[in-house]
């Protein structure tokens, strides 16, 4: 990874940490890395910065950027942390946060099967 990609990942990890805090997920990023990668966790992208993210002004400036949970997860996936995302989905579901990572096709199926409210002036069929 080059410096720009590392900064994007560091910002995404910081944004995710803030998100965890805001919805009160009792799981740290370090615990998530350890659950996913075991003894090799410190060798994975971003692991060395986990305890220092809030001390870097360039990283914390990421909160001022437009970001969503989707952009955070995409950045992590592009950095090679797909396995971490799977663990994230499993652990948040275990904690009762089932909407954290929607399954593929969720939105397409949601809108396809959602019923539209009936117009009271429209004749019934």
Q: pTM of the prediction?
A: 0.74
Domain limits, the chain: 3-113
pLDDT at 31: 93
> In sequence order, what DSSP letters do the residues of 30-56 get, joined into one string?
HHHHHHHHGGGGGGSTTGGGTTTGGG-
Mean pLDDT, consecutive 10-residue stretches, the chain (125 aa), reads 85 92 87 92 88 90 89 91 89 74 48 52 64
């Amino acid at each position: 990874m080059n410096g720009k990609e590392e900064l994007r990942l560091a910002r995404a990890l910081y944004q995710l940490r803030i998100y965890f805090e805001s919805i009160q997920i009792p799981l740290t990023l370090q615990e998530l890395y350890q659950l996913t990668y075991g003894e090799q966790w410190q060798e994975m992208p971003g692991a060395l910065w986990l305890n220092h993210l809030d001390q870097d002004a360039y990283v914390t400036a990421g909160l001022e950027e437009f970001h969503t949970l989707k952009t955070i997860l995409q950045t992590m996936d592009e950095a090679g942390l797909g396995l971490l995302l799977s663990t994230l989905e499993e652990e948040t579901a275990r904690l009762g946060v089932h909407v954290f990572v929607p399954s593929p096709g969720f939105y397409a199926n949601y809108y396809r099967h959602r019923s539209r409210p009936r117009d009271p002036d429209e004749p019934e069929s």
